[in-house]
Amino acid sequence: MDLPAIIFQKDHLARFEEVVEKEWLITNGLGSYAATTVPGINTRKYHGLLVAALNPPGDRTVCLAKLDEDIIIANTTYRLGANQFRNQIFPDGHKYITQFTLNPYPSYRYEIDNIEVVKTIFLPQLKNAVAITYHIKNQKDTAIKVRLYPLLSCRYFHNVIDRFRVPLNFIQESNDKDVQVRFMRPEATVVCRITEGCFVEGVNWVERLFYRDEALRGEADLDDLFQPGYFELQVPAKAEKDFAVTCAASLEEKTAGETLDFIGTTYQQIKQCYITELSGKAVLLADFYQTHSDVPQSEWLNMSLLAADSFIVQSWSGQKSVIAGYYWFEPWGRDSFISLAGLLLITGRFAEAKDTLQNFMRYFKDGLIPNFVADKTGIPIYNTVDGTLWYVNAVHQYLKYTQDYEFVREVLWENLKEIIVHHQKGTLFGIQLDSDGLLMHGPRLTWMDAVVEGDMITPRAGKAVEIQALWYNTLKIMEHLAEKFDEPPLAEQYADMAEQTRRSFNEKYWNPKQGCLFDVLESDGADASIRPNQIFAVSLDYTMLNKETSRQIVEVVYREHVTPHGLRTLSVDDPKFLDKCAGDRHSRDAAYHNGTIWPWLLGPYITAYLKTNNYSSQAKKQALDTLIRPLFTEDIYQNSLGTINEIYDCKPPNTPRGCIAQAWSIAEPLRAYIEDILQTQPNNKTTTKNSVMDVNRAC
């Protein structure tokens, strides 16, 4: 199967200010990645050719920042590298790029004075290594010399290096074809090797590299990198040459070298590794279409499926999880559970979905599943009220696809019951079931959790609308499971609790003035801010609302929030509304949930919209033509190539912001396309007395 490609030709590449904003990203299934811009200039501290998860999927460390090339013809040197300093770009080798291709690995073609250089970068799966292959065609009458300069570091990816303030201590050793650098803090080893030519030692520092995107974000924007020396080889006159440079990183000195041995010591071996990686991508797509014969094949869908794969990671022991977003997010519980259907279930990766559910349950504490697992320390953080409820929903979605009730009964069921018990009696962060059957919680526990210097922007303390929708959904799922597991008294208890929640919700949440739901019930009244959170009261499998109320909510959400890029997080008429999520951290966080567009919300919106329109052909066509196609055929070619950003500005031109690749930005629209628009549903459609599928269509 042909893999999708994004190609920039010379005329497009000449528009520097445009293409320097376009970033590519490739991943290796461990949380490691390679990423930079189309011109090859690192504009973020998170960029690098090997950002290795030294303790997968965490502890991501910039190891090989760049590999810059010089082409030497007689006494003339052409520098293909490009680096930005505060007042200049030097060298400016990006001007020699005549074509950039992402297919799905990045490839640069340079042309200089009858010499063509093609540079391709790929990451072998489940190895903390990168391989850069070269094909050089020398059409000149004289031999040329090629020098390759690795720019190294060993810093946590949130940090930068000032070598005079915090020295980057290391010991360097080299031989004919490789260089090994052992760093003291952190204790890690980076090894670089060439398949042909030799390594020439000579440490040189490149100081005060400027990261323009970090400057715009008010973050640390100057960095020091060092060159341990350079690789050198010759290309004869009228000849072509293929060779490769590989680089690996590890906490164990021996492991880095062994990793490079595994990838290959010759160009032919490394090329075969590359072909194997491409084959794996093609097989992933072929497997999807084999099990989804009714799904039309398309370039944008192929690209989306490959993007979905990039978020699935594992530890050295094989435990699966979902990276919430690249570059800087860890495995987040909420994001993982919301994304599970779009990343793993519609794609048929049921074993990985099962492992993800089991992995997060390892952290179960006081009736809660963690919000996220910290990247550096691996410590679970529990500050969420909805993460656990999304977990129960993810279990339910898993069962709809697999009917694997044995796993749920044997591994999850006792803790699932404990979730209800702890929420009834009260658990961390003020999470407790109130006497009216609605779930109370403290501030900054929902997905709208931004904070600026200790000040909560959207605290939403009390009883947030989507939390009640999720709580009801949880109770109905638990009712079904109790029936399935032959515990009728428990099933009856859950049914009674759900009914109380439904009655209280319908009595208290309707805002007659706006014709929609209140966003939060607070101790001193109700928050009438018009936000998209109410859409979950319609989109979830179990809903507390009748058909007419559901339709009104969908209409309000459409009018106030829907854009081709996602849903605005606040009505534009609200005095708190901000149309741009840019600037320093304070400015960004203030706007983060106060207007900023989030693509992931298209998923639940499309589900709710189609439910309330009886999945009519006209409604499905409308959702496809106005929401799904624009997102996946236009936005996927914007700043983050081949994937979807975390957020977008409300203000035109709706600049993409946040993480350049966000799991649920891909997963939820993709799920809605497959499940709701194409109506490719899981085989199992049986649930409780009021089946989920019946409820979906009853709205």
| Percent of residues, the chain, with pLDDT higher than 70 | 98
Helices and strands, number each (H, E), in the chain: 21, 39
Q: Specify whether 530 is located in the same domain as 673.
A: yes
The answer to whether residue 688 scores a pLDDT higher than 90 is: no
Other Cβ atoms less than 10 A from the Cβ of 632: the count is 22
SS3 412: helix
Q: Specify whether 255 is located in the same domain as 386.
A: no
> C-alpha angle with apex 546: 541 to 548, nearest 5 degrees?
120
Average pLDDT over residues 521-531: 95
The answer to whether residue 699 scores a pLDDT higher than 50 is: no
Q: Specify whether 248 is located in the same domain as 318.
A: no
Average pLDDT over residues 518-532: 96
Question: Which pLDDT band, with edges at 50, 70 and 90, does 532 fall under?
Answer: very high
CA distance 546 to 603: 21
Which CATH number fits the domain that encloses residue 441? 1.50.10.10
**13 membership: H or E segment, kind and range:** helix 10-13
CA distance 393 to 607: 15
Question: Which pLDDT band, with edges at 50, 70 and 90, does 374 fall under?
Answer: confident
Q: What is the pLDDT of residues 18-73, one digit of tens each?
A: 999 999 999 999 999 999 999 999 999 999 999 999 999 999 999 999 999 999 99
Instruction: Give the pLDDT score at 683.
Output: 64
Instruction: Give the pLDDT score at 123.
Output: 98
Question: Which pLDDT band, with edges at 50, 70 and 90, does 334 fall under?
Answer: very high
Q: Specify whether 144 is located in the same domain as 243.
A: yes
Average pLDDT over residues 442-453: 93
Average pLDDT over residues 429-439: 98
Which residues span the domain enclosing 87?
A: 6-259
Q: Specify whether 472 is located in the same domain as 558.
A: yes
Instruction: Give the pLDDT score at 1.
Output: 84
Asked if residue 303 is part of any domain, the answer here is no
Task: For the chain, give percent helix, strand, coil, nearest 5.
Answer: 35, 30, 35
Q: Specify whether 245 is located in the same domain as 316.
A: no
The answer to whether residue 13 scores a pLDDT higher than 80 is: yes
Q: Specify whether 243 is located in the same domain as 318.
A: no
Q: List CB contacts of 192: < 8 A, sequence separation 6 or more.
A: 64, 150, 152, 178, 179, 199, 228, 231, 245, 246, 247
Contacts 24+ apart (CB under 8 A), 87-90: 89/41
* Under 8 Å between Cβ of 534 and 465: yes
Q: Where are the beta strands (DSSP E) in 307-369?
A: 312-314, 320-322, 325-326
What Cα–Cα distance (Å) separates residue 695 from each residue in 494, 540, 548, 679?
18, 10, 14, 15
Average pLDDT over residues 441-462: 93
Asked if residue 519 is part of any domain, the answer here is yes
Q: Specify whether 252 is located in the same domain as 374.
A: no
Q: Specify whether 485 is located in the same domain as 414.
A: yes
Asked if residue 76 is part of any domain, the answer here is yes
* Under 8 Å between Cβ of 423 and 439: yes
Asked if residue 265 is part of any domain, the answer here is no
Average pLDDT over residues 393-400: 98
Pairing of strands 463-464, 33-37: unpaired
Asked if residue 228 is part of any domain, the answer here is yes
Least confident of 71-85, 575-589, 672-686: 672-686
Average pLDDT over residues 4-8: 98
Q: Specify whether 234 is located in the same domain as 330.
A: no
Q: What is the pLDDT of residues 163-200, one digit of tens each?
A: 999 889 999 999 999 999 999 988 999 999 999 999 99
Instruction: Give the pLDDT score at 388.
Output: 98
Instruction: Give the pLDDT score at 698.
Output: 30
Q: What is the pLDDT of residues 121-177, one digit of tens each?
A: 999 999 999 999 999 999 999 999 999 999 999 999 999 999 999 889 999 999 999
The answer to whether residue 690 scores a pLDDT higher than 60 is: no
The answer to whether residue 612 scores a pLDDT higher than 80 is: yes
CA distance 122 to 255: 20
CA distance 68 to 92: 11
Average pLDDT over residues 10-24: 97
Other Cβ atoms less than 10 A from the Cβ of 643: the count is 27
Asked if residue 289 is part of any domain, the answer here is no
Question: Which pLDDT band, with edges at 50, 70 and 90, does 120 fall under?
Answer: very high
The answer to whether residue 693 scores a pLDDT higher than 60 is: no
Instruction: Give the pLDDT score at 127.
Output: 98
Average pLDDT over residues 95-113: 97
Asked if residue 167 is part of any domain, the answer here is yes
Which CATH number fits the domain that encloses residue 182? 2.70.98
The answer to whether residue 442 scores a pLDDT higher than 90 is: yes
* Under 8 Å between Cβ of 225 and 152: yes
CA distance 641 to 638: 6
Average pLDDT over residues 374-388: 92
Q: Which residue has the tokens 């709580």?
A: 471
Instruction: Give the pLDDT score at 185.
Output: 84
Instruction: Give the pLDDT score at 631.
Output: 97
Instruction: Give the pLDDT score at 117.
Output: 98
CA distance 482 to 417: 9
What mean pLDDT, rounded, does the chain reach? 95
Q: Find residue 190's DSSP bridge partners.
A: 181, 249
Question: What is the domain count for the chain?
Answer: 2
**Single-letter amino acid code for the residue at 117:** V
**567 membership: H or E segment, kind and range:** strand 566-568
CA distance 355 to 335: 16
Asked if residue 298 is part of any domain, the answer here is no
Q: Specify whether 252 is located in the same domain as 327.
A: no
Instruction: Give the pLDDT score at 17.
Output: 96
pTM: 0.95
| Percent of residues, the chain, with pLDDT higher than 90 | 94
Q: Specify whether 86 is located in the same domain as 187.
A: yes
Instruction: Give the pLDDT score at 614.
Output: 97
CA distance 314 to 156: 19
CA distance 337 to 333: 6
